[in-house]
Structure 1
Amino acid sequence: MNDFPDLSLQELAARLARREVSAETVARASIARIEEMEPAVHAWQHFDPAQAIAQARRLDAQAPGGALHGVPIGVKDLMDTADMPTTYGSPIYAGHQPQTDAICVAACRNAGAVIMGKTVTTEFATFHPGPTCNPHRTHKADGTLQVHTPGGSSSGSAAAVACGMVPVAFGTQTAGSIVRPAAYCGVVGYKPTYGMLPLAGIKSLSPSLDTVGVLARSVGDAAFFIGTLSRLPLSPLPAVAQTRLRLGICRTQHWDRASHDARTALERAVSLLEAAGARLSDVSLPDQCKGLSEAQMRIMGFEAALAFAPEAQANPDGFSNAFVRFIAAGNAIDGATYFAAQELAVAARCALTGIFNDVDILLAPSTEGVAPAGLEATGDPIFNRMWTLLGNPCVHVPLGTGAGGMPIGVTLIGPRWGDAQTLAAAALLEGSFATQQ
């Protein structure tokens, strides 16, 4: 299975379903890639090759019965697994062994997936980083290695997919934890409409915001994976009527934070989509959308302070200094401020509906720029917060590289529950970029 790193998830699943290759062979190929790359990347919190092979052998003894039969996947270590420890990125939960799977993990098993292990998450999916390095590392002039952040909080999932350890891996997003690591690592990141996949069995940070999604090597693979789990017809992607596709260029109120690389990526996307026949126009967000990033931060902080009250009482010394400050800030937010932030989100969602009467999809920056050097921080989710609060589907599409050869791309945003059309537009951009390479 030497071509495994180059196969799409869908092609791999098709070969496995036709019994052209065994689940054990695929698992061993994945293990070989992990063992090759992991000493430098550190994508995995828990990885047991024997456990993965045992799963694959059980599947090989059965007739293929699910869309993901034999496909190796990564599971973010924020999600409970009944047969693997789940630490939520915190020493408080070192060695913690859940009794049952998170619902989304159970759905993967029902579809026949091989759970390769648990990918690194930042502490409780916030901002204190883990050990994962961006696979797209650059070297200083003197030849020494300069590592870059993979982003967070789905750090290990993005890195594992970027270097071919697995074709897809779970991510979750509360601020920018799918889109940002996807952008930094040069993979596709798909944050579905809020509520598409259930959160039961996932350590909650902010119930109003937490969203399950995926990191993948292509838009089609992301659609296939989430479509399988949600039982929605997301794959195959519908053909886009290119001459009628209306895209709104949305630079957002944070455009002054966009670097030269981010601006160039947006211009590249505009050029590619225009050449593909789409109609593009500039879009200004309604006044109700002002202050959404700040509202997202207030909601996230307020809810997280409540969610982690048990740990704060029982084991406060287990928190990082960064998490202590985060919880303290959340505790300083009163209920009236929290309600006002939620009311602003409701008003903005209603106002944005009017925007989608005039355009089909919005096009916006994914990040301020390429992944920052060092592992002390995971980057700023400034261009992601508002979309997560609004609950709209978002797809990050890689568009080459920027400074130092590091990945860069853009985000396509659709109306709530317009995931299929958002993915289809993202696939159009992805394909247009590929034909120019």
Structure 2
Amino acid sequence: MQSLRDILARIARGETTPAGALAVSQARIAALEPRIQAFASRPDTLQPGEGPLAGVACGVKDIIDTADLPTMMGSPIYAGWRPRADAPIVMALKAAGATVAGKTHTTAFAFLDPAPTFNPHDPAASPGGSSAGSAAAVAAGMIPLAIGTQTGGSVIRPASYCGVAAIKPSYALLPTVGVKPFSWSLDTLGLMAATADDAGLALAAIAGRPELDAPAASLKGLRIGLHLQDYAGAPEPASATALERFRELATDAGAVLVPHDGPAALAEAFHAHGPLQDYEATQALAWEYAHHREALPPKLQAYLDTAQAVTPAQYDEARRRSRRGRDAARAFFAEVDVVATFAAPGEAPDSRDSTGDSRFNRLWTLLGVPCATVPVARGPRGLPTGVQVITGFGRDEQAIAVAKAIENLVARAG
């Protein structure tokens, strides 16, 4: 994989130029794209910008508006569609000096019908979704940075499946204007990179928050709550092994790991995610459903057929349970320094027909809290598996710093 920080360091030392760094990415895309199929569209050339990320090629998920490239949302309904303006996140990316290397493949409207993308570790395995192209492009070393979105687990889960680092920031830290909505109460932008160190650096530059590029945390004396999410079901052996390896590494580094079950209100909030998302999705995709239902892919079509049955009263109750969960989360996160849990049910599914299950990500997306993932182990099929680090709302710096510490421990352990 390409390290964003390494690229910038080589530019600073005069070993390459922003244009030279972009040429490397463009060559790798040209060589690997026929096998990975990470991109829905690409510009003919990559031109460097000006700013702290000059020379960094970035993939942008194809539900995010770009004026210079089509925004097709993984659907023939929007084939060739060209917005008139860049989304604010794309403007922020360019203002930081990064270059859009292309629009990365997404599942249709960021739901569950698979994208054409391949997992770089195993062509028979799923790259996850919905940010499939973003995760695969980084994992294959085509680009050092990619933007995805998460409504359930669409940043953290594909990152885990593809063996890259990712950060889903606190809700609304990055603007979702100009992003095709699925559920406006849940939709959140996120970043994928080779390492948490790279993701933190990029997030700091894009958001204009230098404090997010924090050094790796010291784990000595850090209280880490292990939250197994029993309400979400049992993990597969690969994820259980990854969390156990994390526990061993963190304990050896001096951290204090404690079981951290949480109040019943969190489990209730987990179950509120479904009706909340369902009700909003029927409105976010009302035009497409009314005018192009038969053009929708089968899983999304069936989902929207069923979601029509969610009533305003059920939606209001889901919002109340969500609020109670967010209220309870303040005390939950105050009891420990950081929470650790599974990033995904297990290794990437062994079929590209599936994008996996977001059950270990949904609660945290609903709570709007920052989540980071880094790969820590390999599963029985040899595929990467990550661990998810979560902190209270607005504590993005701490989530990134702890994720950096974990990846350092994994690197030293080999």
Counterparts of 1:289 and 1:312 in 2: how far apart (Å)? 33
Q: Contact (CA 8 Å) 2:269, 2:321: kept in 1 or not? A: yes
For 1:46, the equivalent position in structure 2 comes to 41
Q: Which amino acid aligns with 1:92?
A: I
The code of the aligned residue for 1:41 comes to I
SS of the aligned residue for 2:376 comes to: strand
Of 24, 28, 49, the residue aligned with 1:29 is 24
Query: Per-residue CA shift, 1:386-427, capped at 9, x if unaligned?
Result: 111111100111012112111111100100001101111111
Aligned to 1:71: 56
1:240: how far off? 2.5
Measure, in 2, the Cα distance between the counterparts of 1:400 and 1:252.
Answer: 20
Residue 175 of structure 1 is aligned with which of 137, 148, 152?
152
1:37 Cα offset (Å): 1.5
Give yes or no for the alignment of 1:110 onto 2:95.
Answer: yes
Alignment deviations for residues 173-198 of structure 1 (CA, whole Å, 9 cap, x no partner): 00000011001000012100111000
CA shift for structure 1 position 15:
3.1
TM-aligned CA deviation for residue 73 of structure 1 = 0.8
Structure 2 letter corresponding to 1:323: L
Say yes or no: does 1:315 pair with 2:292: yes
1:4-32 CA-partner distances (Å, limit 9, x unpaired): x54x2123123335554222222221122
CA distance in 2, matches of 1:171, 1:289: 26
Rounded Cα–Cα distance in structure 2 between residues aligned with 1:289 and 1:235: 27
Q: Is the 8 A contact 2:338 2:390 kept in 1?
A: yes
2:373 alignment partner, SS class = strand
> Pairwise CA RMSD of aligned residues?
1.5
| Identical amino acids, percent of aligned pairs | 40
Distance 1:241 1:186 in 2: 24
- Deviation sequence 1:185-233 (CA, Å, 0-9, x none): 0001210011100011111111000000111111111111111111123
Q: Is the 8 A contact 1:75 1:117 kept in 2?
A: yes
Report if aligned partners of 1:224, 1:234 keep a CA contact under 8 Å in 2.
no
In 1, the alpha carbon distance for the partners of 2:35 and 2:211 equals: 35
How does 1:155-166 map onto structure 2 within 5 Å?
A: 155-166=132-143
Once the two structures are overlaid, the 10-residue window that deviates more, 312-321 or 177-186, is 312-321
Who is 1:92 aligned against?
Answer: 77
> Does the 8 Å CA contact 1:303/1:330 hold for their aligned counterparts?
no
> In structure 2, the residue corresponding to 1:172 is in which secondary structure?
strand
The answer to whether the 8 Å contact 1:234/1:419 transfers is no
For residues 69-114 of structure 1, give each alpha carbon's deviation from its aligned partner in whole angstroms, at most 9, with x where no partner exists.
1211111111111100110111100000011001000111111111
Q: How many residues align?
A: 414
**Structure 2 length-normalised TM:** 0.97
Alignment of 1:134-213 (within 5 A): 134-137=119-122, 147-213=124-190
Measured in 2, the distance between the counterparts of 1:92 and 1:294 equals 32
Where 2:230 maps in the other structure, the secondary structure is coil
| Secondary structure of the corresponding residue to residue 404 of structure 1 | coil
Residue in structure 2 matching 1:418, options 384, 395, 399: 395
| Gapped regions of structure 1 (runs ≥ 5) | 60-64, 138-145
Any residues of structure 2 matched to 1:13-412 within 5 Å, and which? 13-17=8-12, 19-48=14-43, 50-52=44-46, 55-56=47-48, 59=49, 65-137=50-122, 147-238=124-215, 240-254=217-231, 256-412=233-389
Answer whether contact 2:56 2:145 (CA < 8 A) is retained.
no
SS at structure 2 position matched to 1:152:
coil
CA contact (8 A) 2:269 2:324 kept: no
In the TM superposition, what is the alpha-carbon distance from 1:256 to its structure 2 partner?
4.1
Task: Report which stretch shifted further, 345-354 or 77-86.
Answer: 345-354
Q: How many Å separate the matches in 2 of 1:99 and 1:380?
A: 35
User: Which letter does structure 1 place at the counterpart of 2:38?
Assistant: A
Deviation at 1:35, TM superposition (A): 1.8
Tell whether the 8 Å contact from 2:241 to 2:377 is kept in structure 1 after alignment. no
Cα deviation digits, residues 20-60 of structure 1 (max 9, x gap) = 42222222211221122111111110123x232xx23xx4x
Cα distance in 2 for partners of 1:214, 1:278 equals: 27
Counterpart CA distance in 2 for 1:316 and 1:17 is 52
Q: Cα distance, 1:298 vs. partner?
A: 1.0
Structure 2 gap segments, 5+ residues each: none
TM-score, scaled to structure 1: 0.92
| CA distance in structure 1 between the aligned counterparts of 2:237 and 2:214, rounded to whole angstroms | 32
- Mean CA deviation greater in 229-238 or 339-348: 229-238
